[in-house]
Structure 1
């Protein structure tokens, strides 16, 4: 299990800005990485839209936001365009980063067990250290809670 106050695993993934994005590229910024199950599904749409609405406030705090799922870039591009998301989505079709961050695991839905993405958010500092982890995220007011935590940390 990944723990708070440890170094975040580095990664390189394709993003909706047509670049390979690495955590190393983001040094000197706070980073929110939220892992979500699937583009354009109800909970994932609420979560993305809530982070998008608060993005200007995150930017004022020198913080970048990225969503990661196993959807391909074509799906991410459609999702980003449909909801006018102003942050990039990263594609992990091979599950490499999902497994590094320990967010690929057993889920239950309607009595059925299956493997999938465990909705989780990480707050990472300017030096790549994980400051906070939210597991089993409930999307309602989650982005606001993450923003409040970031403000508190920066006091």
Structure 2
């Protein structure tokens, strides 16, 4: 008897938790996914920005993220982590942020011959906004920089990595 009573109570409880609609409701149902504000045509869509970036790279020769949006005119903190296991001589990674108008592919080609400076060509310093040191497995580095509105290329300048290790940072007002 107790089991029957408990089962009946449980069934009533489950049925009462379901979705309920009033059959005699006179208000129309609103589809919020298509509803618009009357001022929406004038509004600029909000862009999510984050001026604190954590970027990882590993032995698979890939950045874990390749696109970022930051707030222009405010300091950006970037923490770069090599999550791999290999040494920096075998699979080193860095983060190099280039000025607008720089040719990232040409920079990467020149970087191949800059082993003495951890693949940061001294004759191309004027094209660099910021860069980390070259990291081996389980190492990390932190840099800070501020950007004007625009789009900026970044890359890993270790030989052969540019093709799969590059991305963009967009700075918005």
Report the TM-score, using the length of structure 2 for normalisation: 0.22
Between structure 1 and structure 2, the one with the greater Rg is 2
Q: Which has the higher helix share?
A: 1
- Structure with the bigger RCO (C-alpha within 8 Å, sep 6+) is 1
Report the TM-score, using the length of structure 1 for normalisation: 0.23
